[in-house]
Amino acid sequence: MRLPDHIMKDGRRRLARLLPYALSLAQKQALKEARGLSPRTLLGQSITGRLRLDRLDALTIHRDFSGAWHAGLHLTGLPRGFPSVISTPQDTGLLTERSAEKAALRLLTQALVEVRHNELARSDTSPRDDRIFALGDLEFCLPGDLIDRLSTTGSDDNRTALGHQCLAKAIDEMGANSITQHTWDQASSSARVLAYRGMALLLTVGQARYSPSCSRAPGPIR
């Protein structure tokens, strides 16, 4: 999700202002051995496992065209194929600016708890370099070195267009309006190859979701 520069600048000021307080809240929560963010998907889990303090870029709130408010924690320094923002749900939104501010602080605090857990775990194990792509109702793991290699070929615009073409053609070959486990199991090998190629290409530009009903990925990870 790309926000205007003035919202990002305001978000960086908000992050600097709230960080000391959020760190104290996160420390108390971590002492209770509680987890912060609780993603339900592999894609969400892959992000939380890579959270570090130096990767927090901005803490934004903004109002969309329908009047709903949203909060987002923007990240930097992630490998290609990882979404760069953790946000409140895009499909519902929040009613007021005040509720968005509260949600932003909650997001930051929860992320800092995960940062602490990652610091403790880093001394024991290194996270697998898998990139996760959500295709319809399913999630797929693709090797990070593949995504990194593909990201050096062609332009971002060309890889984005080709990725969408591959996925659209694969889904058309599957003959389904939605991608479920049954759909995937029944798909031909050529359709699967096309789908994997499309997913890999889109991951090189940070797009980690694709819905058969849309021509572009939905909102950021949540």
The pLDDT tens digits for 161-198 are: 999 999 999 998 888 777 888 888 888 888 888 888 89
Tell whether 140 and 110 lie within a shared domain: no
Residue indicated by tokens 């049954």: 182
pLDDT, average across residues 48-54:
83
pLDDT, residue 161, reads: 93
Instruction: Please give the Cα distance from 202 to 66 (Å, whole number).
Output: 28
* pLDDT tens digits, one per residue of 81-140: 778 888 888 777 899 999 999 999 999 988 988 888 877 766 555 556 778 898 888 888
Q: What share of the chain is helix, strand, coil (3-state, %, to 5)?
A: 50, 15, 35
Contact 159, 192 (CB under 8 A): no
Are residues 100 and 186 located together in one domain of the fold?
Answer: no
Mean pLDDT of 51-73: 91
Query: Looking at the domain assignment, is residue 222 inside a domain?
Result: no
Distance, first Cα to last Cα, the chain: 12
Beta strands in 34-87, from DSSP E residues, in sequence order: 56-63, 69-75, 85-87
Same domain for 70 and 139:
no
Higher pLDDT, 24 or 33: 24
> CA 59, CA 43: separation in Å to the nearest integer?
21
Q: Which of 152, 158, 165, 154 is nearest to 197 (CA)?
A: 165
Q: Which of 93, 122, 151 is the last residue of a domain?
A: 122
Q: Residue 140 is inside which H or E element, if any?
A: strand 138-143
Tokens found for residue 202: 């889109």
Task: Indicate whether 116 and 171 sit together in one domain.
Answer: no
Q: Which of 122, 142, 168 is the last residue of a domain?
A: 122
Average the pLDDT over 44-66 and give the result: 86
Give yes or no: residues 10 and 117 share one domain.
Answer: yes
Higher pLDDT, 178 or 200: 200
Average pLDDT over the chain, rounded to an integer: 82
| Full domain range(s) for residue 109 | 5-122
pLDDT of amino acid 218? 36
Same domain assignment for residues 97 and 147: no
Question: Which of 32 and 130 is assigned the larger pLDDT?
Answer: 130
Q: Do 9 and 99 fall into the same domain?
A: yes
Q: Which of 78, 98, 122 lies at the terminal end of a domain, its last residue?
A: 122
**Whether residue 118 is found in the same domain as residue 29:** yes
Give 147: exposed, middle or buried? Use CB within 10 Å, 0-12, 13-18, 19+.
buried
Give the pLDDT confidence score for residue 202 in this predicted structure.
Answer: 93
Mean pLDDT of 43-49: 73
For 127, other C-beta atoms within 10 Å of its C-beta total 13
Whether the predicted pLDDT of 6 surpasses 90: yes
111 & 205 share domain: no
Residue with tokens 């058969």: 212
Antiparallel, parallel or unpaired: β 138-143 and 130-135:
antiparallel
Report the distance separating Cα 214 and Cα 222, nearest Å.
Answer: 19
| Claim to verify: residue 37 and residue 99 sit in the same structural domain | yes
Mapped onto helix, strand or coil, the DSSP state of residue 112 is helix
- pLDDT (0 to 100) of residue 124: 54
Pair 19, 113 in one domain = yes
Domain count, the chain: 2
CB 37 within 8 A of CB 86: yes
